[in-house]
Chain A
Amino acid sequence: MEPAVKEHVQKEIDRLAKKEVFIHLETTNGAYASHFDETFFSSGAYIRNAQLVYEHGKVTGKGPYRVGLKMNFGWVYAEGITHFEVDEDNRLLLAGHDFSGKLAVALQISETPFE
């Protein structure tokens, strides 16, 4: 992955707008967070292959970035995006890695289902 470049990410979000797409969205603090620090409240969410169409999407912030996708009847957003990649299947992979390099958030958009 490469450090996210706002203009480039925006272009990719635009490319996938108004199409049936599959979304992977995840936030995680890792399964061991509360084990190492019992005062830490562990939480996370995960959705793989939600199928939707977004009307438009936007990348904002100065980095780490926020990305929001507006649908006719709802929203998708992710915060803390640091890296991006368009992989060989032309899928847009956005990820946020924390200060130690561990994945904390992922938002991925594809025209075909993620396996």
Chain B
Amino acid sequence: MEKERHVLVIFPHPDDEAFGVSGTISLHIDNGTPVTYACLTLGEMGRNMGNPPFATRETLPKIRKEELEEAARVLGIQDLRMLGYRDKTVEFEDEEKLANRLGVIIGETNPSLIITFYPGYAVHPDHDATGAAVIRAVKELPADKRPKVHCVAFSNNCEEEIGQADVVNDVSAVIDRKIAAIKAHASQTQLMAANMEESIKNQDPEVLARMYKERFWTYKI
């Protein structure tokens, strides 16, 4: 993995960073690279409330905010920014305004690498809209000032259409921190995290491949 000057992670939901990217974040932090995480919403529309339910529609944002802060703490992210958008509404925002807002953060942090979702191949409308706004903001920069953009894609058709991921990071060295970050989002990952640890213990090859290898597609701007 290349050493970066600054990594800027831009996702719409608390826990978006946990599954596919937290290992890579940890590796960058271990490398001494500062990481900024801009999280657009507080996942207000999450459907996991605990069973029996311990969260309500109204308390969920507060719970998820604390979980996000805990995940950032576990990963060692010093600069966590919560941008105050609302879950499931990102695609309905004014695209130019959103791109400009992200552009300000890009300008301020001057990253050499941005990690976000691959627009059109990231399943959730907020993911696609966030990725699209990031790409739009990066395109505004002069060509020689543009950071690299590594995208997360996981739609069912993604490999057919955009090919194989060109960046694959082996995160086995920091797997404990990755699991801790996933667990930090307890309201959303409670059940899943338990199954996952069991699968890792049993060396389930599919789960191991997913957990230990983080895959990115470099966006060609």
Contacts and interface: CB of A to CB of B under 8 A. Distances in A.
B123 A93 contact: no
Interface of B: 45-53, 56-59, 88, 123-126, 155-156
Contact of B53 (A30, A97, A114): A97
21 contacts: A1-B53, A24-B57, A26-B57, A28-B47, A32-B123, A46-B88, A87-B56, A91-B58, A93-B56, A95-B56, A97-B49, A97-B53, A101-B48, A101-B50, A101-B53, A102-B47, A103-B46, A103-B47, A103-B49, A106-B57, A114-B58
A32 B124 contact: yes
A62 interface: no
A80 B52 CA distance: 16
B177 to A, nearest CB: 26
Nearest to A38: B156
A30 B45 CA distance: 9
Contact of A85 (B51, B56, B124): B56
B221 to A, nearest CB: 26
A76 to B, nearest CB: 16
B51 A28 contact: no
A17 interface: no
Given A87-B59, A95-B56, 18 more contacts: A1-B52, A24-B57, A26-B45, A28-B45, A31-B126, A35-B156, A38-B156, A87-B58, A91-B58, A100-B51, A101-B51, A101-B53, A102-B48, A103-B46, A103-B53, A104-B47, A106-B57, A108-B58
B48 to A, nearest CB: 6
Which residue of A35, A38, A103 has the most chain B CB atoms within 10 A of its CB atom? A103
10 nearest CB pairs, A to B: A101-B51, A102-B47, A31-B124, A103-B47, A1-B53, A35-B123, A106-B57, A93-B56, A30-B47, A103-B49
Main secondary structure of the interface of B (DSSP, over half): loop
B51 A97 contact: yes
Interface residues on A, range: 20 to 34
Main secondary structure of the interface of A (DSSP, over half): strand
B57 A108 contact: yes
Nearest to A98: B47
Given A31-B88, A35-B156, A101 B58 contact: no
B49 A101 contact: yes
A100 B52 CA distance: 10
A69 B49 CA distance: 26
Interface string A13-35: 00000000000101010111001
A35 B57 CA distance: 24
Contacts of A103: 46-49, 53, 57
A46 B57 CA distance: 12
